[in-house]
Amino acid sequence: MTLQHAHTLTKAAVLELSGIEKIYRTDSLETVALANINIAIEQGEFVSIMGPSGSGKSTLLNVLGLLDAPSKGVMRLHGMDVTKLKENAIAQVRNQEIGFIFQSFHLVNDLRVLDNVEIPLLYRKGLSGSERKQLALEAVQQVGLSSRTKHFPSQLSGGQQQRVAIARAIVGKPKLLLADEPTGNLDSAMGDEIMNILHTLNREHGTTIAMVTHDERLAAQTDRVIRIFDGQQVA
């Protein structure tokens, strides 16, 4: 066994990126959004990703979450090379393993809270309507919004809307949660509520979390900070 194999066996990396590069090409312009990114995120870790605006944080999170394919490099999820998977296999892995939270919540405005939370389960085979509803109720309860299941997003505060988005992200019990500036649109009290929920998911459910943030105070509450500048990792 090589040293590298021993390393991957003992450390149980959820995600391993080696030599990841992402280039966006539009007309005449080429943007190197990520260059030679090498990251391993271990099971149960809560990491934050920091860097100036335009440095590649969202691109990195989208690559981590299989929303966007890298231009170069290898990415392994639980040891499996996901850069080789076909689009429908990627969609399935994404749906079962990964939950997303965005700065602007991305809720469906004409669906009630419970129906928003159920959405990821609609893509799961073998779940009945009542099983979906039960799981959605549990997720809503986990974020403390059981009294709001029939509300529409517009009837909720920003912090409550983000809690609905978290419930939707965790309803399928993903092992990995990715959050792109989840507190960026919230005041600090609401932001702290969101952080408390993330910490609980990490500690009590063992969910691995990667969170982009501009806030050094929030980053300091996480296990480790990955810093990006101009698409490159900085020490």
Ligand X SMILES: Nc1ncnc2c1ncn2[C@@H]1O[C@H](COP(=O)(O)OP(=O)(O)O)[C@@H](O)[C@H]1O
Binding site for Mg ion (CB under 5 A): 57-58
Of the candidate residues 7, 9, 24, 234, the single one contacting ligand X (CB under 6 A): 24
CB of residue 147 vs ligand X: minimum separation in angstroms?
Answer: 35
Tell me which of Mg ion, ligand X, none is bound by residue 51, counting a contact when its beta carbon lies within the kind-specific cut-off of 5 to 8 angstroms.
ligand X
What is the pairing mode between strands 80-81 and 72-77?
A: antiparallel
Tell me which of Mg ion, ligand X, none is bound by residue 132, counting a contact when its beta carbon lies within the kind-specific cut-off of 5 to 8 angstroms.
none
> Does residue 55 bind ligand X (CB under 6 A)?
yes
> Does residue 26 bind ligand X (CB under 6 A)?
yes
Name which of 64 and 117 has its Cβ closer to ligand X: 64
Name which of 53 and 154 has its Cβ closer to Mg ion: 53
Structural element, H or E, at residue 167 = helix 158-170
Cβ contacts of 46 within 8 Å, gap of 6 or more: 198, 199, 202, 208, 209, 211, 222, 223
> Does residue 54 bind ligand X (CB under 6 A)?
yes
Among 30, 15, 31, smallest CA distance to 74 is for 15
DSSP label at 3? H
Tokens 């009542």 sit on residue: 130
Contact window for ligand X (CB under 6 A) among 3-11, 57-65, 183-191, 192-200: 57-65
Tell me which of ligand X, Mg ion, none is bound by residue 55, counting a contact when its beta carbon lies within the kind-specific cut-off of 5 to 8 angstroms.
ligand X
> Does residue 59 bind ligand X (CB under 6 A)?
yes
Distance CA 185, CA 159 (A): 9
Structural element, H or E, at residue 34 = strand 29-42
Name which of 33 and 209 has its Cβ closer to ligand X: 33
Among 34, 30, 20, 24, smallest CA distance to 231 is for 34
Distance CA 156, CA 164 (A): 10
Tell me which of Mg ion, ligand X, none is bound by residue 26, counting a contact when its beta carbon lies within the kind-specific cut-off of 5 to 8 angstroms.
ligand X
Binding site for ligand X (CB under 6 A): 24, 26, 31, 33, 51, 53-59
